[in-house]
């Protein structure tokens, strides 16, 4: 349980700050004197935080579903012809900067939440796909053979052997994807998605450093809280596995 | 594993079918009365008539036949065909402009539709698959890419495509474009160079003192976790305060916005991949090799310069590759804090809802990242001991 203490503290800190920032106007008058607009008020920080998290969560779920099923498909006999192309696409695609994907989604789909979500899913599934391929490909063939020798069907081998063994690597891919997407979603403010990037962009446009700081602090905290959540998740996963391996 | 060359290939038919469906369903191009107004879209048949639609469809059909029938040298023929098709793809837009652009309107322009991009994308995937079936050498792959780039370059320079809105946007700001290129390259490459020097020092320190490893790696990966927009934003206040306090800094151009915070943030982001790869590379040099060097009477300095460093170089270059690609993308974001570069076009275009200005910023950014990837991968390959 001690494992989950750090993420809980980060999340509590993030929520508390989102609630308390509006009361900290005197503090921000320090950086941005000479104006009465010290606190970003167009939306509450909670609303922004919520829709930011929603965007990242939705894209991570969709991306994981698509990437893991694609990864499973190309490692089965039926789809192995597609393996070279898919793995090349995953690595070439990651060369394209996320901000360019975001920008290119606008000519295709217009402004708003939809193109942001689309770009997040598209870009976010690449690291997951890559890690799924690495995880499934890195399993010792002898393990698979002995699973088959025990009389497991290929579906059983997939769900009871391959996915649990590849799980940690896939989880690391999801972590990378979520880290990138928290940053990209913030930039999504420029194409009309409602995220914690809004105060930053508004502050940059109006030359209001207080707005910029409020957005930046919350985005940074969100990223750190999420990262520590994944850290705890990865450790729990690893612990569960080594425990089971010891019992066996 | 790739199927042996005698068997029917299943990948190319799937790609060709997808290309066929999308190019017939989506708009190949758009005719816009002026820069901002969304224009009227034309499908493949509407845009290029029987001739264009026929050529595109039969090309895809021939590709399917070649991929599935046991014809000798079919993948060579296919790669030749696909390269030629990709090279001359912009001619479709030229035909479209000839047929549909109103001759009397000076502001009318043609835009590229989703159908065109899908066709280009799927043709490129088919070419990629063909080249991997041929087990093409790096040199062959590179020449194919260069041929396609040259084809597009030649097409773009022709009079027939001068009404393409992307080219119009470029013509309007050719000076700004070359300036953006300079700024973009010097910011991202400058950050990579500075962080390479810093990272090398940090990695050496970590190799010498094991105690430093955890805190240093923790610090650089902490910085990598902070989203770019947040880090750029957080740097504005302190740098602004510094520049207000010291007029000498202000004279150098160091302010809360502009190149200074951008460069700082880019360096901070570049440190993690650089430090990690350099450290891992230096640690992974096999001990027996180092001992052999010492046994030959080399000094520690010689062992480092003549044994460790050359062996570590490929992994270090891999770090530089990751860092450079990342820095090129982040420099585009830095345009939000006034650092310049291609991001300026992207965010200006988004602000004015001028989609071709967005493309004028986004496409070169993608191109720069892909070029950096190709160059550094080739360098890494060359330095890998065999």
pLDDT confidence of residue A123 = 92
Which ranges in chain B belong to alpha helices (H)? 11-25, 44-68, 74-87, 90-100, 114-133, 138-157, 165-172, 174-208, 213-225, 228-245, 247-251, 259-283, 287-295, 300-302, 309-334, 343-352, 355-383
CA geometry: angle at A34 spanning A31 and A40, to 5°? 65
Per-residue pLDDT of chain B (386 residues; tens, 9 = 90+): 444 456 788 899 999 999 999 999 988 888 888 777 777 888 888 888 888 899 999 999 999 998 888 888 888 999 999 999 999 899 898 888 888 887 777 778 888 888 999 999 999 999 999 998 888 888 888 899 999 999 998 988 887 788 888 888 888 888 999 999 999 999 999 999 999 999 999 999 998 888 888 898 888 888 888 999 999 988 888 888 888 888 877 777 777 778 888 999 999 999 989 999 999 999 888 889 888 988 998 988 898 888 888 899 999 999 999 999 999 999 999 999 988 899 999 999 998 888 889 999 999 999 999 999 999 988 888 887 76
Distance CA A203, CA A211 (A): 5
Chain A residues whose beta carbon lies within 8 Å of the beta carbon of residue B243: none
Distance CA B265, CA A126 (A): 25
Q: Is A12 on the interface with B (CB under 8 A)?
A: no
Q: Is B328 on the interface with A (CB under 8 A)?
A: yes
Distance CA B113, CA A108 (A): 9
- Residue A17: C-alpha distances to residues A178, A189, A217, A221 (Å): 22, 21, 9, 9
Q: Is A90 on the interface with B (CB under 8 A)?
A: no
Domain chopping of chain B, boundaries? 11-171, 174-383
Candidates A155, A134, A133; CA nearest to A71 is A133
Q: What is the DSSP letter of A36?
A: S
Q: Is A85 on the interface with B (CB under 8 A)?
A: yes
Distance CA B221, CA B272 (A): 6
Coil, helix or strand for B42? strand
Count CB atoms within 10 A of the CB of residue A67: 26
Nearest CA-CA distance, residue A227 and chain B, Å: 8
Backbone angles phi and psi of B41, in degrees to 5: -90, 150
Distance CA A46, CA A199 (A): 12
| Cβ pair B125:A220 closer than 8 A | no
| Cβ pair B333:A190 closer than 8 A | no
Contact between B269 and B224 (Cβ < 8 Å): yes
Distance CA B203, CA B206 (A): 5
In sequence order, the 6+-apart residues with CB closer than 8 A to the CB of A11 are: A225, A229
Distance CA B289, CA B307 (A): 8
Q: Is A14 on the interface with B (CB under 8 A)?
A: no
Distance CA B16, CA B130 (A): 12
Q: Are strands B29-32 and B109-112 parallel, antiparallel or unpaired?
A: antiparallel
Q: What is the DSSP letter of B41?
A: E
Backbone angles phi and psi of A11, in degrees to 5: -65, -40
Compute the count of residue pairs across chains A and B with CB atoms less than 8 Å apart. Answer: 141
Count CB atoms within 10 A of the CB of residue A145: 11
| Cβ pair B227:A183 closer than 8 A | yes
Distance CA B114, CA B95 (A): 17
- Cα-trace Rg, chain A: 22
Range of the domain at A15: 2-247
Count CB atoms within 10 A of the CB of residue A134: 17
Entry pTM: 0.89
Candidates B50, B260, B346; CA nearest to A98 is B346
Q: Is B229 on the interface with A (CB under 8 A)?
A: yes
Element containing residue B40 per DSSP (H, E): strand B40-42
Q: What is the pLDDT of residues B281-305, one digit of tens each?
A: 998 888 898 889 889 989 888 988 8
Q: What is the DSSP letter of B4?
A: P
Chain B residues whose beta carbon lies within 8 Å of the beta carbon of residue A103: 346, 349-350, 358, 361-362
Looking up residue A47, the CATH number of its domain turns out to be 1.10.3720.10
Q: Is A188 on the interface with B (CB under 8 A)?
A: no
Q: What is the pLDDT of residues B245-275, one digit of tens each?
A: 888 777 777 777 788 889 999 999 999 899 9
Domain count along chain A: 1
Candidates A148, A128, A126, A124; CA nearest to A56 is A124
ipTM for the whole predicted complex goes beyond 0.85? yes
Nearest CA-CA distance, residue B303 and chain A, Å: 34
pLDDT confidence of residue B2 = 44
Q: Alpha-carbon dihedral of residues A102, B172, B88, B96, nearest 10 degrees?
A: 90
Of B3, B256, B359, the CB nearest to A107: B359
Candidates B328, B218, B172; CA nearest to A95 is B328
User: Which residue of chain B has the CA closest to A216?
Assistant: B230
Q: Is B120 on the interface with A (CB under 8 A)?
A: no
User: Which residue of chain B has the CA closest to A197?
Assistant: B229
Chain A residues whose beta carbon lies within 8 Å of the beta carbon of residue B346: 99-100, 103
Distance CA B177, CA B175 (A): 5
Structure tokens at B1: 């594993």
Candidates B32, B204, B53, B36; CA nearest to B106 is B32
Nearest CA-CA distance, residue A247 and chain B, Å: 32
Nearest CA-CA distance, residue A248 and chain B, Å: 34
Element containing residue B29 per DSSP (H, E): strand B29-32
Candidates 1.10.3720.10, 3.40.1080.10, 1.10.357.10, 3.40.50.1820; CATH matching B174-383: 1.10.3720.10
For chain A, the helix, strand and coil percentages under 3-state DSSP, each to the nearest 5 = 85, 0, 15
Candidates B12, B15, B31; CA nearest to B23 is B15
| Cβ pair A85:B128 closer than 8 A | yes
Distance CA A168, CA A235 (A): 9
Per-residue pLDDT of chain A (248 residues; tens, 9 = 90+): 678 899 999 999 999 998 888 888 778 877 776 667 788 888 889 999 999 999 999 999 999 999 999 999 999 988 888 998 999 898 889 999 999 999 989 888 888 899 999 999 999 999 999 999 999 999 999 999 999 999 999 999 999 899 988 999 999 999 999 999 999 999 999 998 999 999 999 998 888 888 899 999 999 999 999 999 999 999 888 887 765 555 54
């Amino acid at each position: 349980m001690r494992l989950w203490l750090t993420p809980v503290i980060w999340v509590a800190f993030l929520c508390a700050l989102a609630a308390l920032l509006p009361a900290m106007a005197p503090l921000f008058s320090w950086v941005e004197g000479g104006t009465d607009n010290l606190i970003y008020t167009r939306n509450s920080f909670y609303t922004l935080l919520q829709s930011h998290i929603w965007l990242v969560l939705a894209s991570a779920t969709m991306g994981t579903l698509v990437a893991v099923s694609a990864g499973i498909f190309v490692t089965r006999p039926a789809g192995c012809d597609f393996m070279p192309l898919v793995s090349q696409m995953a690595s070439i695609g990651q060369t394209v900067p996320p901000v360019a994907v975001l920008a290119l989604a606008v000519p295709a789909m217009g402004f708003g939440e939809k193109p942001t979500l689309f770009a997040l899913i598209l870009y976010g599934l690449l690291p997951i796909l890559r890690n799924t391929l690495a995880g499934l490909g890195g399993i010792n063939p002898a393990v698979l053979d002995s699973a088959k020798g025990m009389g497991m069907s290929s579906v059983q081998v997939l769900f009871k052997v391959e996915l649990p063994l590849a799980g940690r690597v896939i989880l690391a891919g999801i972590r990378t994807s979520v880290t990138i997407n928290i940053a990209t979603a913030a930039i999504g403010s420029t194409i009309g998605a409602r995220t914690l990037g809004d105060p930053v962009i508004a502050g940059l446009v109006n030359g209001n450093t207080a707005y910029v700081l409020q957005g930046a602090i919350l985005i940074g905290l969100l990223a750190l809280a999420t990262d520590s959540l994944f850290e705890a998740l990865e450790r729990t996963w690893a612990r569960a596995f080594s425990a089971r391996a010891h019992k066996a | 594993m790739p199927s042996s060359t005698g068997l029917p290939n299943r990948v190319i038919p799937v790609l060709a079918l997808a290309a066929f469906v999308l190019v017939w369903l989506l708009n190949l191009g758009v005719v816009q009365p002026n820069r901002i107004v969304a224009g009227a879209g034309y499908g493949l048949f509407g845009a290029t008539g029987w001739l264009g639609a026929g050529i595109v469809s039969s090309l895809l059909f021939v590709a399917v036949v070649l991929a599935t029938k046991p014809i000798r040298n079919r993948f060579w023929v296919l790669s030749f065909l696909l390269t030629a098709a990709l090279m001359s793809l912009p001619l479709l837009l030229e035909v479209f402009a000839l047929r549909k652009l109103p001759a009397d309107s000076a502001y009318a322009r043609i835009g590229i539709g989703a159908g065109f991009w899908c066709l280009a994308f799927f043709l490129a995937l088919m070419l990629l698959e063909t080249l991997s079936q041929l087990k093409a050498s790096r040199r062959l792959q590179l020449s194919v890419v260069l041929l396609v780039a040259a084809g597009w370059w030649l097409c773009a320079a022709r009079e027939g495509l001068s009404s393409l809105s992307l080219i119009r946007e470029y013509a309007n700001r050719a000076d700004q474009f070359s300036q953006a290129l300079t700024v973009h390259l010097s910011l991202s490459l400058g950050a990579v160079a500075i962080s390479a020097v810093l990272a090398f020092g940090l990695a050496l320190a970590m190799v010498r003192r094991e105690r430093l490893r955890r805190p240093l790696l923790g610090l650089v990966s902490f910085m990598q976790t902070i989203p770019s927009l947040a880090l750029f934003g957080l740097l504005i206040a302190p740098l602004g305060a510094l520049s207000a306090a010291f007029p000498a800094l202000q004279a150098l151009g160091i302010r809360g916005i502009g190149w200074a915070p951008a460069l700082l943030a880019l360096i901070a982001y570049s440190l993690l991949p650089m430090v990690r790869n350099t450290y891992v590379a230096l640690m992974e040099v096999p001990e027996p090799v180092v001992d052999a060097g010492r046994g030959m009477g080399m000094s520690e300095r010689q062992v480092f310069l003549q044994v460790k460093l050359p062996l570590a170089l490929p992994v270090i270059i891999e770090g530089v590759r990751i860092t450079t690609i990342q820095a090129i993308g982040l420099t585009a974001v830095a345009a939000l804090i006034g650092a310049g570069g291609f991001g300026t076009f992207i965010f200006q275009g988004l602000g004015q809802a001028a989609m071709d200005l967005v493309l004028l910023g986004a496409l070169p950014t993608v191109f720069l990242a892909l070029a950096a990837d190709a160059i550094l991968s080739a360098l890494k390959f060359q330095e890998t001991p065999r």
